[in-house]
C-alpha cells in the first residue's frame, strides 16, 4: 500500500531553493552555527515557520568572564574579543584575578566560559573549576591546564628562526629573554634545540632582562662583558628589538651597526599601524587568527566529557626584511 504524503512535511531543499541559499547554509541555521549572517538566519527561520516547520527556539544568552592583567598586548587582544562577542548573544564580565580575585571567582561561578588573557597558572584554573565544575576554560597565547589553549605556533616559530640564522651562516647567537614576556621560554627552547641540531658547535648566549629593568641596560651589560661579539641578536618578542635599535644601535652605529637583528611579532600589532618602526627579519602571525579560534570555542563550547585539553596553534611564518646579514662560516 502506497504511503500518503504528510501535508505537514517541509522540503528543506525546496526552502533553500526559494531563498537562493545552499542546503548546507540552511542546516547551519538549524544547528545555530554562529558564523551564519543574522540576516540569513532571520530569512530562513521566517520561511520555515511560515511553512509550519518548528525550527527555532530562543537560546539562553551565554555568560563569559574575560580575565585581564596588566599586559598591554594581551589587553588589546581581549578588548577586541569583547567587542566581537557583544554581538554574538554573549554577556561578558571583565575581571583581574591578580589584583582582585573575589569578583573574578564570583563571576566564574555564574559563567559558562572563562577566557584568560591574564597568564593563569594551574592553581587558578583549579580554583576556577572548584567554584564552577561546569565552566569551560580558555587561555590565550600561553600554555596552561585550561580546557583550551590558543596560541601562535611558538615551537614552529623558534625552528623557523633557527633555520633562517643557520642558513645565513650565524654560529654565535645571543637570544634576548625578557622576564615579562610570557612565551619567551617556548620560543627559546625550540630555537635552541633546532639550531643545536643544525650546528652542534654553535654558540648561543642568553641576554636576560629582569622585570623592572630596561632592554638597553640588559643588552649593554651583556655586550660590554662578552668576550666575543655575537653576529646576531634574536629577540623573541618584537617590541624589545625596536627598543634595542632605538636606544643602543642608533646612538652607536660605528660599534653596533654591523650587528644583525632578528625579531618576533608583526610591528603593527605592537605599535599601531601609523607608528614608525625599523623593519627586522621576523617570525610573525596574525593575532586575529587567535581571536577567531577563541570566539569559536566561546560560542560553541565543545562538550567537556573527559576534559582532555585542546591546544590550537595558529600558523606562523618567516618574513625577511634585510636585517639579518649573511656571514662567512
Q: What would the pLDDT profile of 148-200 be if each residue is shown by its tens digit?
A: 999 999 999 999 999 999 999 999 999 999 998 889 999 999 999 999 999 99
Extents of the domains making up the chain: 12-50, 62-146, 154-286
User: What phi and psi, each to the nearest 5 degrees, are found at residue 215?
Assistant: -65, -40
* Exposure of 237 in the CB half-sphere (CA atoms within 13 A): 21
Q: How confident is the model over 213-268, as pLDDT tens digits?
A: 999 999 999 999 999 999 999 999 878 999 999 999 999 999 998 999 999 988 88
The pLDDT, as a whole number, for residue 319 is: 97
Helix H or strand E segment including 109 = helix 101-109
Query: Among 288, 270, 290, which Cα is nearest to 280's?
Result: 270
Spatial distance between the Cα atoms of 119 and 114, rounded to a whole number of angstroms: 13
Domain covering 12-50, topology? 434 Repressor (Amino-terminal Domain) (1.10.260)
154-286: same fold as 62-146? yes
> What does the mean pLDDT of the chain come to?
88
Confidence tier at 328 by pLDDT (50, 70, 90) = confident
| pLDDT higher than threshold 90 for residue 109 | yes
Superfamily of domain 154-286: Response regulator (3.40.50.2300)
Across residues 118-142, what is the average pLDDT? 93
Judge: domain 62-146, CATH 3.40.50.2300.
Answer: yes
Q: Which pTM was predicted?
A: 0.78
Q: How confident is the model over 5-32, as pLDDT tens digits?
A: 444 456 888 889 999 999 888 888 887 7
Helix axes 154-167, 184-198, angle to 10 degrees: 40
Query: Among 182, 179, 191, which Cα is nearest to 155's?
Result: 191
Spatial distance between the Cα atoms of 234 and 158, rounded to a whole number of angstroms: 10
Spatial distance between the Cα atoms of 215 and 269, rounded to a whole number of angstroms: 19
Amino acid at each position: 500500500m502506497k504511503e500518503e504524503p504528510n501535508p505537514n512535511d517541509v522540503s528543506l531543499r525546496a526552502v533553500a531553493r526559494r531563498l537562493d541559499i545552499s542546503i548546507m547554509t540552511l542546516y547551519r541555521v538549524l544547528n545555530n552555527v554562529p558564523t551564519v549572517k543574522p540576516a540569513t538566519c532571520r530569512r530562513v527561520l521566517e520561511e520555515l515557520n511560515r511553512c509550519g516547520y518548528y525550527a527555532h527556539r530562543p537560546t539562553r544568552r551565554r555568560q563569559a568572564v574575560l580575565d585581564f592583567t596588566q599586559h598591554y598586548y594581551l589587553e588589546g587582544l581581549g578588548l577586541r574579543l569583547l567587542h566581537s562577542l557583544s554581538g554574538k548573544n554573549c554577556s561578558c564580565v571583565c575581571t583581574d584575578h591578580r589584583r582582585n580575585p573575589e569578583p573574578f571567582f564570583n563571576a566564574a561561578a555564574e559563567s559558562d566560559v572563562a577566557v584568560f588573557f591574564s597568564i593563569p597558572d594551574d592553581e587558578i584554573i583549579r580554583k576556577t573549576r572548584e567554584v564552577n565544575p561546569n565552566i569551560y576554560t580558555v587561555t590565550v597565547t600561553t600554555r596552561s591546564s585550561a580546557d583550551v589553549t590558543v596560541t601562535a605556533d611558538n615551537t614552529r616559530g623558534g625552528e623557523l628562526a633557527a633555520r633562517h640564522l643557520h642558513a645565513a651562516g650565524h654560529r654565535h647567537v645571543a637570544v634576548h629573554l625578557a622576564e615579562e614576556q610570557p612565551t619567551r621560554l617556548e620560543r627559546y627552547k625550540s630555537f635552541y634545540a633546532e639550531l643545536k641540531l643544525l650546528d652542534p658547535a654553535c654558540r648561543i648566549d642568553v641576554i636576560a632582562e629582569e622585570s623592572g629593568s630596561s632592554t638597553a641596560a640588559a643588552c649593554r651589560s651583556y655586550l660590554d662583558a662578552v668576550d666575543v661579539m655575537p653576529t646576531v641578536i634574536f629577540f623573541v618578542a618584537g617590541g624589545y628589538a625596536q627598543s634595542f635599535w632605538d636606544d643602543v644601535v642608533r646612538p652607536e652605529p660605528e660599534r653596533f651597526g654591523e650587528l644583525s637583528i632578528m625579531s618576533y611579532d608583526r610591528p603593527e600589532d605592537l605599535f599601531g599601524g601609523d607608528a614608525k618602526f625599523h623593519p627586522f627579519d621576523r617570525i610573525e602571525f596574525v593575532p586575529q587568527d587567535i581571536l577567531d579560534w577563541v570566539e569559536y570555542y566561546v560560542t560553541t563550547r565543545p562538550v567537556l566529557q573527559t576534559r582532555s585539553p585542546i591546544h590550537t596553534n595558529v600558523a606562523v611564518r618567516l618574513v625577511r626584511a634585510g636585517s639579518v646579514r649573511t656571514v662567512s662560516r
